[in-house]
Structure 1
Amino acid sequence: MLAVLAACGGALAVSGPSEQPAEPGKPTVVLVHGAFADSSSWNGVIQRLQRDGYPVLGVANPLRGLQQDARYVASVLDSVPGPVVLVGHSYGGSVISEAAVGHANVKALVYVASFILEPGESTSELAGKFPGGQLGPALHTVPVPPAAGNVDTDLYIQQDQFRKVFAADVAPDVAALMAATQRPITKSALDEPATRAAWHDVASWNLVTTEDLAIPADSMRFMGERAMSTTVEVGASHAVTVSRPDAVTDVIDQAARATAS
């Protein structure tokens, strides 16, 4: 575990002497990871945000179902005092659009290589809307023990395909650690339709990763244009939070500054 944390940019909750304390008046940045990842995927971003004086919270997204996951993230938002910049990576974007509804303290939404769904749409639907995605054939399925008669499937990325489709610009040794420690998502979570979309009422930013083989860049552009998001493009893989934490941090900082009261 220590090796994974070190490779991905340092432990989440440990403050070092080089980090600056949170500055009064700065919003809390709440980070929500997506499928096939965990909160450690934000480590490099967290280090940079903390050094810039932002309080930061990395949420452990359950990855069990869109509404279930959104309720959990919403409960975390209930516990955060003051203004929030809410950030989602990949499927995490689907979750934050639901979770932020009814939370007036959420001042900005930041979508990082992410999904920006309209009510009625599913994550899997938008993932396949434009050509270029290579994630589907790389998936490995594991049956989930049935609960209350419901049958579901956990989805993993095959480890020998992980770097190619998810983290092509991440160092091979780091990508191998990420592949071994990836967290699965249920198929039903990806197929579950959105019911609400906070981006209709909250300002949003959209970081498009142009070398992404998990979500085609054209899909991200389509969703960002529809949401009238402020869009930034970067030449990176889907694992941009690990490979380009500087670019991700810059977009979050832009959103925080633009929405500061």
Structure 2
Amino acid sequence: MFEKVSRFTRRTFFKGAGTAVATTALLGQNTLSAYAASSSSQEALQSSASGVGLNVVLVHGSFVDASSWSKVVALLQAQQYNALAVQIPLTSLADDIAVTRQALASISGPTILVGHSYAGMVITNAGTNVSNLIGLVYAAAYAPEQGESHNDLTAKFPPAPISKHVIASYRSGFRWVDPPAFPADFIQDVPLPVARVLAVSQKPFAPLCFSTPSGAPAWKQVPSWYLVSKNDRTINPDLERFMAKRIGATTIEIASSHASPVSHPEDVFQLILAASRKR
């Protein structure tokens, strides 16, 4: 299902992915029910539960909200992980970091911090000097060095196709992806009706999110894992590979759109499991 590419570890973490457990439909839409697995798959996961006492904090990127993690959360809960999907405001990088830090402070015990897309900027900063943090997981996410912004990283490689379609949204001063372009350039690997629902359910972001430079990165303090989406049309996959290599992450590559937590939740789940088992 995925290709393991990291040269930083020789351990084989994954023994194959099962089908995803049934979840509540993303954004309240029954159209996501096509991804639900059988109850027997859920029972099998529950019978081998290994996440007791472990926290997984998941942070969404721009253009979506915390419901984008719903399938990953269901898989984690079936393994008895304590999962928390944070709703960040997307009003500024500083605001998003602050909310994520509050979420981290609300729980105790060993914690994995996971970010998708823009949220890589958030977890890189929110995870700094958190004593119970044991790992970072980046799902097609930005992984900055100190002083780098989202925009700085994007400029290192040719722009992804979606860049032509980021426009002013209905919210004054906030931006989003032009909805007709969203299915093809953000999440081309789910049924079109699902993608269309997500396109008009976007959470607009403030430009300050993308222009603010990062502080000291948490990936210098704890181990990191990275999932590269080979079919990404939102972030250049070569930029993802560059960032993963630079932070020394254990890396996998999968044939996914940018929105891997929605379209390939099992792969994201398996990478989180790998991170949790390294403690």
Q: Which residue of 1 aligns with 2:63?
A: 36
Matching of residues 169-208 of structure 1 within 5 Å: 169-208=189-228
**Change beyond 3 A, Cα 1:207–1:188:** same
Shift of 1:17: 8.8
When you count strand as a share of all residues, which structure comes out higher?
1
Shift of 1:59: 0.3
Q: Which residue of 1 aligns with 2:148?
A: 121
TM-score, length basis structure 2: 0.83
CA contact (8 A) 2:32 2:194 kept: no
TM-score, length basis structure 1: 0.88
Q: Which range is displaced more, 136-145 or 232-241?
A: 136-145
Superposed CA RMSD in Å reads: 2.2
Which of 79, 89, 110 is the aligned partner of 1:52? 79
Per the alignment, in what secondary structure is the counterpart of residue 135 of structure 1?
A: helix
Percent identical pairs in the alignment equals 35
Q: Which amino acid aligns with 1:56?
A: A
- Which whole-Å deviations, capped at 9, do the CAs of 1:171-226 have from their partners, x for residues lacking one? 11111111111101111110111112000111000100010011111101111111
Q: Which amino acid aligns with 1:70?
A: I
Q: Which amino acid aligns with 1:77?
A: L
Residues 1:157 and 2:183 are matched in the alignment: no
Q: Which amino acid aligns with 2:150?
A: T
Matching of residues 55-134 of structure 1 within 5 Å: 55-134=82-161
CA contact (8 A) 2:77 2:83 kept: yes
Unaligned runs of 5+ in 1: 11-15, 146-152
**Change beyond 3 A, Cα 1:54–1:177:** same
Distance 2:75 2:170 in 1: 39
Q: Which range is displaced more, 245-254 or 128-137?
A: 128-137
> Stretches of 4+ moved more than 6 A in 1?
16-19
Distance 1:143 1:183 in 2: 10
